[in-house]
Amino acid sequence: MTENVNETEMQDLVYSLAASPNFQQDHICFAARQSGLYCSNDGGASWRAAYDSLNLDAPLTTLDVVVSPNFESDHIVFAGVPGGVMRSIDGGQSWSAAFLPTPPPIVSTMVVSPNFESDGIVLAGTVEDGVFCSTDRGGRWVRWNFGLLDLNVFCMAISPDFGNDETIFVGTESGVFRSTNGGRAWREIDFPLEFAPVLSLVVSPDYSNDGDSGVLFAGTESCGLFRSQDQGRTWTRLGQDAIDDAVNGIVISPEFPARPDILAVLSTTLLVSRDGGQSWADWKAGQTFEQGLASAVAPQGLDVDAVLLVGLIEGGVLRV
């Protein structure tokens, strides 16, 4: 079943979706929209404006939202906005603002360290000013752009073993950059310029065990989906006959590669591969979308009967 959740209330682009790591029990999820941030406590059936406690005079556009990996206990949420990062320590009930160094950048993407409970690290990518890092749970931010030759950052992905390998990837207007020291320095990796810009990135949950064959995926604006099996040194295009649209999001199975499921969020459809990208099909046979797709989150994994939330370009969240 496909259900358009609160369509009448949500009439603007849904840039990003995030769900509690404990979603199956608490049903908490967030939607970052042009008109602000919204929260649901019932798995996306209903939504409330998360910034109501701020009594804002105008909408606060929110381009990304991420939650702490320890959300069940610390209730921390980060939201990227023009000029800074909003932080909540009570699950989105109240907020404080951390302003980034001037000129005020537009925060487009964020990642939280998997080891956040002990290292307190959060990174924010911006539209024109590169990467900022906080090592104190979002209180103070500094620029970390050494070697980052393209400061137009559209997406980020962090190693699941970041506490040990300190590896982060960013997708930019011109390609992909990697840091192996927590973001203090960056190096461009060999992603063909003609395939850029890179709109979406995801790292294999088993990346730390892959050795030199670390797997990551990159979605582009007009050249489809790519996979690297050697930490970004070489790339293979996936689904060339099926994926010819902007790849606005990539979701992979939590058990990847043992369970090699990949979901590609295209601007007009959802495609899934159950064999690591060799073959592709509609997420659900015969399913069509009248509105453009911008983002997705799969808090219960990629089983065909699991909850999938999809953010729309025109506004709204589909519970698929």
More confident residue, 257 or 157: 157
Reading the block at residue 306, the tokens are: 């699991």
Which phi and psi angles does 240 have, rounded to 5°?
-60, -35
22-35 confidence digits (pLDDT tens)? 999 999 999 999 99
pLDDT > 60? residue 210: no
pLDDT > 80? residue 6: no
pLDDT tier for residue 214 given thresholds of 50, 70 and 90:
confident
Rounded-to-integer distance, Cα 56 and Cα 35, Å = 11
Least confident of 2-11, 87-96, 234-243, 301-310: 2-11
What integer pLDDT is reported at residue 103 of this predicted model? Answer: 85
Among 5-14, 96-105, 180-189, 204-213, top mean pLDDT goes to: 180-189
Residue 222 CB contacts under 8 Å (≥ 6 apart), including other chains: 246
Mean pLDDT for the chain overall: 93
111 lies in some domain: no
Note whether 301 and 291 are within 8 A (CB): no
pLDDT > 90? residue 217: yes
Note whether 104 and 84 are within 8 A (CB): yes
Cα–Cα separations (whole angstroms), residue 85 to 163, 182, 217, 251: 23, 19, 27, 24
| Lookup result for tokens 């025109």 | 314
pLDDT tier for residue 194 given thresholds of 50, 70 and 90:
very high
219-274 confidence digits (pLDDT tens)? 999 999 999 999 899 999 999 999 989 999 999 999 999 999 999 999 999 999 99
4 lies in some domain: yes
71 lies in some domain: yes
List the strands of the sheet with 236-238, edge to edge.
198-203, 216-220, 225-228, 236-238
pLDDT > 80? residue 9: no
pLDDT > 70? residue 104: yes
3-state helix/strand/coil string of the chain = CCEEECCCCCCCCEEEEEECCCHHHHCCEEEEECCEEEEECCCCCCCEECCHHHCCCCCCCCCEEEECCCHHHHCCEEEEEECEEEEECCCCCCCEEEECCCCCCEEEEEEECCCHHHHCCEEEEECCCCEEEECCCCCCCEECCCCCCCCCEEEEEECCCHHHHCCEEEEECCCEEEECCCCCCCEECCCCHHHCCEEEEEECCCHHHCHHHCCEEEEECCCCEEEECCCCCCCEEECCCCCCCCEEEEEECCCCCCCCCEEEEECCCEEEECCCCCCCEECCCCCCCCCCEEEEECCCCCCCCCCCEEEECCCCEEEC
Which CATH number is 45's domain given? 2.130.10.10
Report the sign of the C-alpha dihedral through residues 309, 311, 317, 320, in that order.
negative
208 lies in some domain: no
Say how many Å lie between the first and final Cα of the chain, rounded: 6
More confident residue, 12 or 158: 158
92 lies in some domain: yes
Beta bridge mates, 85: 80, 98
What integer pLDDT is reported at residue 11 of this predicted model? Answer: 57
Note whether 297 and 18 are within 8 A (CB): yes
293 lies in some domain: no
Full-model pTM = 0.94
Mean pLDDT of 172-196: 95
144 lies in some domain: no
What integer pLDDT is reported at residue 8 of this predicted model? Answer: 37
What integer pLDDT is reported at residue 244 of this predicted model? Answer: 86
97 lies in some domain: yes
The boundaries of the domain holding residue 33 are 1-103
Give the other-Cβ count within 10 Å of 58's Cβ: 7
Whether omega for the bond prior to residue 260 falls within 30 degrees of 0, making it cis, is no
pLDDT tier for residue 211 given thresholds of 50, 70 and 90:
low
Beta pairing, strands 262-266 & 48-49: unpaired
Per the structure, how many domains does the chain have? 1
pLDDT tier for residue 212 given thresholds of 50, 70 and 90:
low
